[in-house]
């Protein structure tokens, strides 16, 4: 079955690719294994040189690469440019900081000498999603290659051109052949790839379904895995918040990437005292968001990436209405060509309903009125997900409670949730496990090797 690149703004076929045969995939694994044996001897300074060259190419070719993203998955062009520049930033971050992160850690164990050294694991399989087709890959690629690992990328089937472009960029930057390869595969082929004994570890960003499959197989094979799955992030606003800034940010936080982001704010939990003002102005803000051709300047929301994503979001909104939710604005797919859905605000979604516990992957927000901070925290935590949370309050005591009691991988006070190369990124509960970015992300695919060198002097005996 062909792997197709389809423009979601028109649903017209851009290009079609034949998936790799199983034999061709095994040859790429063999090439990666050979590359790893040699790559471990490459000085860190050389890797950093190539990584900085990669950042420079990304910056030089931002417009062309951004256009490719927009064509394949519908992200507004300005957002696609930002994504490419963020990839350049993460390349430079790891080029600058790898030596510090990888430095051996001395541990006092007198009279012996002990330290921990960080060794690469080998070939890491990356199974990546379509919503940030460059950024999701680069936030893994940069630390993995700087650490001395090599990588195989199984990208989402609807962004094959982005996948191939990334491999070409890595090679042009100077990285040796085989250190990073794109595998155009069908989903059914992934099991055999991960099962190959030469694959040391796997990282996946994607759906719960994919995470369960990959995590289960990796566990059975006893291979290291990192899973970054879905999210239903709360956006909490308390009475002391800067309401103007909170509302402005709330609209952006729900509509980032046309609402197709795991860390987009999805559940808006608002204190009763300010709820009415927030609701009316938030609805106005959602109605003012510009939906249209993602290639045109000024467009803030483009099409959803696939027809399947559009159908699912429409079904979820209809399911919410059937159980009593009210549509304050939007609620329908938009007529004409392309996978467009109206910016939508729902209120009164019952906490007993199925949709309450699901992730809405598109420009649809759910509003909840709460009486106090206790109820806000209760609702925020009443989700199977635990990726991140944005909380708005100027009260120091409330801030302390939110930081301590919210069940998630990150709490952002008085700002929207965003990833940053300097900070660990990941979640808990059904949002997955492990971390990306920062030193923590780099070390996920390193062996913390303990080294102890005995003292020449005999150790003193100790009483039992």
DSSP track, 393-462: ---HHHHHHHHHH--SS-EEETS-----TTS-B--EETTEES-BSHHHHHHTTEEEEEEEE--SSPPPP-
User: Residues 262, 279, 358, 359: which is the catalytic one?
Assistant: 262
pLDDT score at 461: 47
pLDDT score at 458: 56
CB distance 97 to 441 below 8 Å: no
Residue 23 lies in a domain: yes
Residue 273 lies in a domain: yes
pLDDT score at 457: 66
Beta strands 411-413 and 389-392, pairing class: parallel
User: Residues 228, 279, 300, 398: which is the catalytic one?
Assistant: 228
Q: What's this model's pTM, rounded to 2 decimal places?
A: 0.96
Residue 7 lies in a domain: yes
Residue 98 lies in a domain: yes
Residue 420 lies in a domain: no
Q: Based on the domain organization, do 246 and 225 belong to the same domain?
A: no
Residue among 320, 339, 203 at smallest CA distance from 260: 339
Provide the phi-psi class of 280: left if phi over 0, else alpha when psi is between -120 and 50, else beta: alpha
* Crossing angle for the helix pair 135-147 and 160-172, to the nearest 10 degrees: 30
Q: Based on the domain organization, do 202 and 238 belong to the same domain?
A: no
Residues 287, 246: Cα–Cα separation, whole Å: 17
Sign of CA dihedral 395, 398, 403, 408: negative
Residues 190, 155: Cα–Cα separation, whole Å: 11
Residue among 76, 120, 133, 143 at smallest CA distance from 293: 76
What is the domain-level CATH number for residue 90? 3.40.605.10
- Domain residues for the domain of 92 are 3-229+431-451
pLDDT score at 460: 55
Residue 91 a catalytic site member: no
Domain count, the chain: 2
Full pLDDT tens readout for the chain, 464 residues: 899 999 999 999 999 999 999 999 999 999 999 999 999 999 999 999 999 999 999 999 999 999 999 999 999 999 999 999 999 999 999 999 999 999 999 999 999 999 999 999 999 999 999 999 999 999 999 999 999 999 999 999 999 999 999 999 999 999 999 999 999 999 999 999 999 999 999 999 999 999 999 999 999 999 999 999 999 999 999 999 999 999 999 999 999 999 999 999 999 999 999 999 999 999 999 999 999 999 999 999 999 999 999 999 999 999 999 999 999 999 999 988 999 999 999 999 999 999 999 999 999 999 999 999 999 999 999 999 999 999 999 999 999 999 999 999 999 999 999 999 999 999 999 999 999 999 999 999 999 999 999 997 655 544 44
Residue 345's H or E segment, with its range, is strand 344-347
Q: Based on the domain organization, do 20 and 101 belong to the same domain?
A: yes
Q: Based on the domain organization, do 325 and 435 belong to the same domain?
A: no
Q: Based on the domain organization, do 88 and 141 belong to the same domain?
A: yes
Residue 42 lies in a domain: yes
Determine phi and psi for 224, rounding to 5 degrees: -60, 135
Q: Based on the domain organization, do 400 and 382 belong to the same domain?
A: yes
Residues 399, 394: Cα–Cα separation, whole Å: 7
CB distance 191 to 215 below 8 Å: no
* Crossing angle for the helix pair 160-172 and 44-60, to the nearest 10 degrees: 130
Residue ranges in 196-350 assigned as alpha helix (H):
208-221, 243-255, 272-288, 307-322
What is the greatest pairwise CA distance in the chain? 83
Q: Based on the domain organization, do 123 and 249 belong to the same domain?
A: no
Task: Reply yes or no: is the peptide bond before residue 111 cis, omega within 30 of 0.
Answer: yes
What is the three-class DSSP state of 316? helix
Residues 299, 291: Cα–Cα separation, whole Å: 6
Q: Based on the domain organization, do 212 and 132 belong to the same domain?
A: yes
In sequence order, the 6+-apart residues with CB closer than 8 A to the CB of 244 are: none
In sequence order, the 6+-apart residues with CB closer than 8 A to the CB of 367 are: 268, 270, 275, 278, 279, 282, 328, 345, 346, 347
Q: Based on the domain organization, do 299 and 151 belong to the same domain?
A: no
Cα Rg, the chain, nearest whole Å: 24
- Give the start-end residues of each E strand in 157-243: 180-182, 199-205, 224-228, 233-237
Q: Based on the domain organization, do 76 and 54 belong to the same domain?
A: yes
Q: Based on the domain organization, do 98 and 208 belong to the same domain?
A: yes
Residue 8 lies in a domain: yes
Q: Based on the domain organization, do 199 and 342 belong to the same domain?
A: no
Residue pointed to by tokens 């199974």: 127
What is the domain-level CATH number for residue 355? 3.40.309.10
Residue 425 lies in a domain: no
Count of C-beta atoms within a 10 Å radius of residue 48: 19
Count of C-beta atoms within a 10 Å radius of residue 86: 20
Residue 228 a catalytic site member: yes
Can you read off the two tokens belonging to residue 315?
A: 């079904």
pLDDT score at 1: 85
Can you read off the two tokens belonging to residue 122?
A: 């080998």
CB distance 350 to 324 below 8 Å: yes
């Amino acid at each position: 079955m062909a792997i197709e690149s389809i423009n979601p703004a028109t649903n017209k076929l851009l290009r079609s690719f034949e998936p790799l045969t199983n034999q061709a995939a095994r040859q790429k694994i063999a090439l990666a294994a050979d590359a790893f044996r040699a790559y471990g001897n490459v000085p860190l300074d050389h890797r950093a040189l190539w990584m900085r060259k990669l950042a420079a190419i990304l910056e030089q070719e931002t417009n062309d690469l951004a256009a490719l993203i927009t064509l394949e998955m519908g992200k507004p062009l300005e957002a696609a440019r930002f994504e490419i520049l963020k990839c350049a930033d993460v390349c430079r971050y790891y080029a600058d900081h790898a030596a510090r992160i990888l430095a051996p850690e001395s541990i006092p164990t007198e009279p012996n000498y002990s330290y921990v050294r960080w060794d690469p694991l080998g070939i890491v399989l990356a199974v990546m999603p379509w919503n940030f087709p460059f950024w999701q890959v680069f936030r893994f690629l940069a630390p993995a290659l700087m650490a001395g690992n090599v990588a195989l990328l199984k990208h989402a089937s609807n962004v094959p051109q982005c996948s191939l472009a990334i491999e070409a960029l890595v090679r042009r930057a100077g990285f040796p052949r085989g250190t990073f390869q794109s595998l155009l595969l069908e989903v059914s082929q992934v099991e055999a790839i991960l099962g190959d004994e030469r694959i040391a570890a796997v990282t996946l960003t994607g759906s719960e379904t994919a995470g369960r499959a990959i995590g289960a197989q990796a566990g059975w094979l006893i291979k290291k895995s990192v899973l970054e799955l879905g999210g239903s992030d709360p956006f909490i606003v308390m009475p002391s918040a800067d309401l103007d800034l909170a509302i402005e940010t709330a609209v952006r936080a729900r509509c980032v990437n046309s609402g197709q982001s795991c860390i987009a704010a999805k559940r808006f939990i608002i204190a009763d005292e300010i709820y009415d003002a927030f609701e009316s102005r938030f609805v106005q803000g959602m109605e003012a968001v510009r939906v249209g051709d993602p290639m045109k300047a000024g467009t803030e929301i483009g099409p959803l990436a696939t027809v399947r994503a559009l159908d699912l979001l429409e079904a979820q909104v209809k399911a919410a209405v059937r159980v009593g939710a009210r549509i304050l604005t939007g609620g329908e797919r938009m007529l004409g060509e392309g996978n467009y859905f109206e910016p939508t605000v729902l209120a009164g979604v019952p906490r007993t309903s199925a949709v309450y516990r699901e992730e809405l992957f598109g420009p649809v927000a759910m509003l909840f009125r709460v009486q106090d901070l206790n109820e806000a925290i209760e609702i925020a935590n009443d989700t199977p997900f635990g990726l991140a949370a944005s909380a708005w309050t100027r009260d120091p005591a409330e801030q302390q409670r939110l930081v301590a009691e919210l069940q998630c991988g990150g709490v952002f006070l008085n700002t929207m949730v965003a990833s940053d190369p300097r900070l660990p990124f990941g979640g808990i509960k059904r949002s997955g496990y492990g971390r990306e970015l920062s030193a923590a992300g780099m070390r996920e695919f390193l062996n913390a090797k303990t080294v102890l060198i005995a003292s020449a002097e005999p150790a003193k005996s100790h009483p039992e």
